[in-house]
DNA sequence: ACATTTGCCTAACGGTGTTAAACAATTTAA
DNA sequence: TTAAATTGTTTAACACCGTTAGGCAAATGT
């Protein structure tokens, strides 16, 4: 029967409703303010229903985290595809990374445990940004025949500086660091790119 | 009467017992596992007693955070005082910073919100490390007559890279990044110091 | 028509931070 | 010395949390 399909579609929809409701609550009240009962309220059900779609609260966080990594990866790709030269690509990618962190701050928090006790098990999508970045870094360095280890190291150098700066900004979000952010971003990214060419 | 003194001393002691018990629990079970009732158990009281010493749980976290910053500042000073040249001092200080993060990881987490929804209001002691670092950076740069803003920017450049690297290590504590850590630490600190001389 | 499955809810358990009320012990005052 | 007031501590409770078990009612299958 076709009703089977409709029911399956409906189930899939409430599943995604749960995720949407959860993230909406987080954007209103922060990760601290997220509770199963609040999610249930928002989707007009009672709390136990959620457990037919997710085994527990952590599973919801994990799925949101996964979605976050997919969105980040997509934005990194789009940034990359706007340029031809790998140096320009890399700079655009880190800028996209930066933008993601401040457009979807709550996502960034759960993905990287900023002011938030985040998901324990790394989801598979978490690898995507790493692969995108190292591919471009490898392209820039191809003349010096770098090992994977060297590329990985360069990647983590970038990552440290950007993630550190993002984390500081999220925590002391009161202080205005606009000019300092721009300076450091420009200096650090530019500097490291120069150092690996 | 002298008994007043004894009682005051006793009160001060249970106050510090509460803090010690709290941190002991955190070192055993992580920040997630810390609860008022567990603290009470450990000091052999019941939970409401704690509220005569601290207005709420957050106040305990705040006080621990303050103690953390004081300890960090002390270790930074000790590292600095082992050297004469400001360049060497600065490197030693960042190394001490690094060591602090992995010796007192739980402290570092609550101080900087790593995988942990940390204290909201910045305590006064949080300024100490900033002042220690900027003083030495200013000394290194004194030939170029830098503004406070420029020094601040250099400080945050260091801070970003080190904190970022620390945060990554705390979150993916499974992966062995020993060699990468050393490389990045050496490269980044050395590189930035060179760039400001 | 009856039996079975499904969707959903109420109630509950053990836990959390926190507060109010009660009790006991100690100190103060008469 | 005895009565009053203060202090220390506990028990009980509230409102919330994540989670599970049981039951009711509607939809489905036979």
| pLDDT of the residue at B118 | 79
Q: What is the mean pLDDT of residues A118-138?
A: 86
Our CA dihedral for A59, A64, A66, A71, rounded to 10 degrees, sits at 170
Report the predicted TM-score, pTM, of the whole model to 2 decimal places: 0.94
User: How confident is the model at residue B68, as a pLDDT?
Assistant: 96
Q: Which residue lies nearest C20, CA-to-C1' measured? A: B48
Alpha carbon separation from A188 to A15, B141, B154 (Å, rounded): 42, 19, 11
Nucleotides of C under 7 A from a protein CB: 7-11, 15-21, 27-28
Mean pLDDT in residue range A169-187: 84
Task: Report the share of chain A in percent with pLDDT over 90.
Answer: 75
Q: Where does chain A have alpha helices with state H?
A: 2-29, 36-42, 47-50, 57-80, 86-103, 105-112, 127-140, 148-171, 178-196
Across A130-134, A188-192, B161-165, B172-176, least confident range: B172-176
Distances in Å between the Cα of B4 and the Cα atoms of B14, B54, B128 are 16, 21, 35
Mean pLDDT per 10-residue segment, chain B (197 residues): 69 95 97 97 96 96 96 98 96 96 96 85 84 97 94 92 94 79 85 80
Nearest to B160 among A113, A118, A165 (CB): A165
Is strand C within 7 Å of residue B3 (CB)?
yes
Whether B36 CB is under 7 Å from strand C? yes
| Domains observed in chain A | 1-54 (1.10.10.60), 64-196 (1.10.357.10)
* Gap between the terminal Cα atoms of chain A: 62
The minimal CB distance from B168 to the residues A152, A163, A170 is found for A163
pLDDT of residue B67: 96
First to last CA, chain B: 62
DSSP state of B83: -
Q: What is the pLDDT of residue B1?
A: 45
Residue A184's pLDDT is 87
Q: Are B69 and B125 in contact (CB under 8 A)?
A: yes
Structure confidence at residue B27 (pLDDT): 97
- Flag if B184 and A122 touch (Cβ within 8 Å): no
* Cα dist from A118 to A85, B87, B89, B109, whole Å: 36, 38, 36, 13
Question: Which residues of chain A are within 8 Å of residue B163 when distances are taken between CB atoms?
Answer: 164, 167-168
Nucleotide nearest to A52 (CA to C1'): C7
Report the pLDDT value the prediction gives residue A3, as an integer from 0 to 100. 61
Q: What pLDDT was estimated at residue B63? A: 96
């Amino acid at each position: 029967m076709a009703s089977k399909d409709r029911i399956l579609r409906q189930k899939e929809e409430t599943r995604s409703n749960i995720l949407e409701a959860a993230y909406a609550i987080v954007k209103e009240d922060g990760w601290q303010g997220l509770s199963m009962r609040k999610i249930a309220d928002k989707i007009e059900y009672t709390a136990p229903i959620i457990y037919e779609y997710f085994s527990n609260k952590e599973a919801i966080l994990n799925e949101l985290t996964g979605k976050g990594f997919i969105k980040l990866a997509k934005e990194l790709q789009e940034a990359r595809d706007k340029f031809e030269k790998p140096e320009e690509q890399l700079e655009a990618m880190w800028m996209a990374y930066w933008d993601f962190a401040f457009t979807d701050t709550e996502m960034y928090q759960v993905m990287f445990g900023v002011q938030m006790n985040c998901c324990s098990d790394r989801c598979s999508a978490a690898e995507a940004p790493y692969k995108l970045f190292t591919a471009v870094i490898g392209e820039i360095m191809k003349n010096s025949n770098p090992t994977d280890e060297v590329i990985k190291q360069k990647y983590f150098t970038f990552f440290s500086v950007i993630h550190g700066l993002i984390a500081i900004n999220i925590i002391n979000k009161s202080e205005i660091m606009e000019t300092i952010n721009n300076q450091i971003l420009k200096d650090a990214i530019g500097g490291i790119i120069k150092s690996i060419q």
